[in-house]
């Protein structure tokens, strides 16, 4: 994958926020690099659940113990990823209008509360709606990113502890999807699916 060639690594600005830094070029990530990283992480996540039946997509156990009521299925993980991506889309829309994007840093407790709200909101929705949202929010994200200049994407932002918008997207979306793609792949392997 192209992102591996870029030799990105994660660094933490605050305990609750992860961003990415591009060491190979010792410069901000370009739009092309960001779009490739988004494509790669989405492809990895899609590949992680490709070929699963509707029943398997809704089988608890991807997170936690499959017999525990709080254990998530693949569908729950996808709804969770879509919810966080939708938050980013909203923030980028505000940024494009010249406003501060709102909340960009979450404590562990705030993340857990957000995750639980997203889970409760989506857990009984039809699978096809969850999948449509998961795929549709990516199109919205790409539209928002298209509306930002290269300078908008790469300039240090004080409200991001001087990280760039590209770094923010890498942490919120690419790293997040990569984490969950691995989680789903490990779950499948454990069940030999």
Mean pLDDT by 10 residues, the chain (193 residues): 33 36 56 94 97 97 72 96 97 93 89 93 96 98 96 91 92 94 96 91
pLDDT of residue 35: 95
Q: What is the pTM of this model?
A: 0.85
Both tokens of residue 59?
A: 């089988």
Domains and CATH numbers, the chain: 2-191 (1.20.120.450)
| CA angle in degrees (0–180, nearest 5) for 126-74-137 | 65
pLDDT of residue 68: 60
72 beta partners: 63
Contact 45, 177 (CB under 8 A): yes
In our burial notation (b when 16+ CB lie closer than 10 A, e otherwise), range 70-84 reads eebbbbbbbbbbbbb
């Amino acid at each position: 994958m192209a992102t591996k060639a870029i030799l990105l690594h994660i660094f933490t600005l605050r305990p609750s926020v992860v961003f990415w830094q591009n060491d190979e070029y010792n410069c901000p990530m370009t739009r092309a690099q960001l779009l490739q990283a988004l494509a790669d992480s989405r492809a990895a996540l899609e590949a992680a659940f490709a070929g699963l039946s509707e029943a398997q997509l809704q089988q608890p156990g991807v997170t936690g113990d499959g017999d525990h009521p709080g254990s998530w299925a693949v569908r729950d993980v996808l709804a969770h990823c879509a919810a966080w991506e939708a938050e980013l889309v909203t923030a980028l829309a505000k940024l494009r209008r010249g406003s501060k994007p709102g909340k960009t840093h979450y404590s562990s407790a705030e993340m857990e509360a957000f995750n639980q709200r997203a889970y409760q909101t989506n857990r009984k929705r039809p699978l096809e709606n969850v999948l449509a949202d998961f795929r549709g929010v990516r199109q919205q994200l790409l539209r928002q990113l298209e509306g930002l200049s290269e300078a908008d994407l790469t300039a240090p932002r004080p409200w991001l502890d001087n990280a760039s918008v590209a770094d923010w997207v890498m942490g919120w979306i690419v790293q997040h999807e990569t984490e969950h793609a691995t989680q789903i792949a490990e779950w499948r392997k454990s069940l030999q699916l």
